[in-house]
């Protein structure tokens, strides 16, 4: 289940990677902007895609705390649990 969520998130993140960063570089601990080199403006788009994919809604504060792939998974878990 957890693996399924991770793969789903990875698939979203992958579409915002710069052309010179490969999908294999996405790890649980990867920092979106620092390590994966994702433009910080695109975090907004990742949040929207996550909302659609998991049928949840993230608040502005959730986005502020979302720095790594792991952070995002935890926020997704929390939101799914609260449903």
Binding residues vs other proteins (CB under 8 A): 15-19, 39, 41-42, 44-45, 48
Helix (H, G, I), strand (E, B) or coil at 31: strand
DSSP 22: -
Nearer to other proteins, 45 or 71 (CB): 45
Q: State in angstroms the smallest separation of the CB of 1 from other proteins.
A: 28
How far apart CA 1 and CA 20 sit, in angstroms, is 31
Nearer to other proteins, 33 or 42 (CB): 42
Q: State in angstroms the smallest separation of the CB of 3 from other proteins.
A: 25
Phi, psi of 24 (to 5 degrees): -65, -20
């Amino acid at each position: 289940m957890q693996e399924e969520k991770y793969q789903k998130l990875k698939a979203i993140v992958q579409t915002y990677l710069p052309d010179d960063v490969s999908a294999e570089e996405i790890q649980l601990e990867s920092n979106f902007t620092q390590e994966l080199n994702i433009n910080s403006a695109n975090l907004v788009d990742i949040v929207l895609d996550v909302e659609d994919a998991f049928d949840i809604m993230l608040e502005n504060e959730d986005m502020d705390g979302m720095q790594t792939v792991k952070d995002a998974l935890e926020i997704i878990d929390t939101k799914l649990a609260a449903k």
